[in-house]
Amino acid sequence: RGKRAFIAGVADDNGYGWAIAKSLAAAGAEILVGTWVPALNIFETSLRRGKFDESRVLPDGSLMEITKVYPLDAVYDSPEDVPEDVKSNKRYAGCTNWTVKEVAECVKHDFGTIDILVHSLANGPEVSKPLLETSRNGYLAAISASSYSFVSLLKHFVPIMNPGGATISLTYIASERIIPGYGGGMSSAKAALESDTRVLAFEAGRKHRVRVNTISAGPLRSRAAKAIGFIDMMIDYSLENAPLQKELSAEEVGNAAAFLASPLASAVTGAVIYVDNGLNAMGVGV
């Protein structure tokens, strides 16, 4: 039987989530995605109208099939956690079962089990503010959407993951080195995500034989990255300074994720894997 993957954080064809879905599909996996509720409508409409067809093409010429799109807001674990103003917000009102617990229940009901869980989402409302100017609420919101969201996804999905399964998240080197401009507590959120990768690798490994890794990816002009505001500068910086002087493609990160999710990586867990043209290894720019 082919493997089944749930990829949280796909809302267009520009980001790492989409590229990971494609690499997994190319390797024969069945693809389920979780799409942020406010982005769901436009994503599904675009998908239906064929707007993504060109980017759905797999190496063998076939088109990637997404078996099902689930609405998801990874900031809420169960319906009791959803505040009134969100419940009644018109972008959420027409939609049900999008808290993490409910999505896991729906996937279980529809498919029984999964083999691969991908977390490709982040949000920091104050990302453009330096850490020194970040509010407590902004900092906690960054951690909630970008770090705890992974703990919650794993907690709710691990019971329906087949032993030998794998989970992957996406992180950024701002967790360990100073990257001015990556503010709002997002650097802190990525540090938490990387630390949690180790602890969760232990807990999910011992309990369920599930592996937990994170990919520290280089800069990509995704929707989220464009919102931060300095992505073109980071891409130029990498082109100039990284050991491999080429633009990083989302597909390269997708392929690394497919490796990590496969039996080829059966002894790799608790790791931060750099897929960044080697930029992380540089000490000075040259």
Extract long-range pairs of 123-129: CB within 8 Å, 24+ residues apart. Answer: 123/75, 123/224, 124/183, 124/184, 124/185, 124/186, 124/189, 125/184, 126/183, 126/184, 126/185, 127/182, 127/183, 127/184, 127/186, 127/227, 127/228, 128/181, 128/183, 128/184, 128/228, 128/229, 129/183, 129/184
CB 209, min distance to ligand NAI, A: 25
φ, ψ dihedrals at 252, nearest 5°: -65, -35
> Among 116, 142, 160, 217, which residue sits at the site for ligand NAI (rule: CB under 6 A)?
217
CB 150, min distance to ligand NAI, A: 9
Query: Is residue 139 among the annotated active site residues?
Result: no
Check if the beta carbon of residue 81 is closer than 8 Å to that of residue 42: no
CB 217, min distance to ligand NAI, A: 4
Indicate whether 6 belongs to the interface with ligand NAI (CB under 6 A): no
Q: Which residue has the closest beta carbon to ligand NAI?
A: 15
Query: Is residue 237 among the annotated active site residues?
Result: no
> Among 23, 99, 120, 277, which residue sits at the site for ligand NAI (rule: CB under 6 A)?
120
Q: What residue spans of the chain are helical by DSSP H?
A: 16-26, 37-48, 84-87, 90-93, 100-111, 136-143, 149-157, 186-208, 223-228, 231-241, 250-261
Cα(236)–Cα(245) distance, rounded to whole angstroms? 10
Check if the beta carbon of residue 4 is closer than 8 Å to that of residue 29: yes
User: 162-181 mask for ligand NAI (x: CB under 6 A)?
Assistant: --------xxx---------
> Among 99, 123, 152, 175, which residue sits at the site for ligand NAI (rule: CB under 6 A)?
123
Indicate whether 222 belongs to the interface with ligand NAI (CB under 6 A): yes
Indicate whether 200 belongs to the interface with ligand NAI (CB under 6 A): no
Q: Which of 16, 70, 139, 172 is catalytic?
A: 172
Q: Which of 70, 182, 237, 274 is catalytic?
A: 182
Indicate whether 242 belongs to the interface with ligand NAI (CB under 6 A): no
> Among 145, 200, 212, 242, which residue sits at the site for ligand NAI (rule: CB under 6 A)?
145
Site residues (CB under 6 A) for ligand NAI?
Answer: 9-11, 14-17, 36, 39, 72-75, 120-123, 145, 170-172, 217, 219-220, 222-225
- Which residues does the annotation mark as catalytic? 172, 182
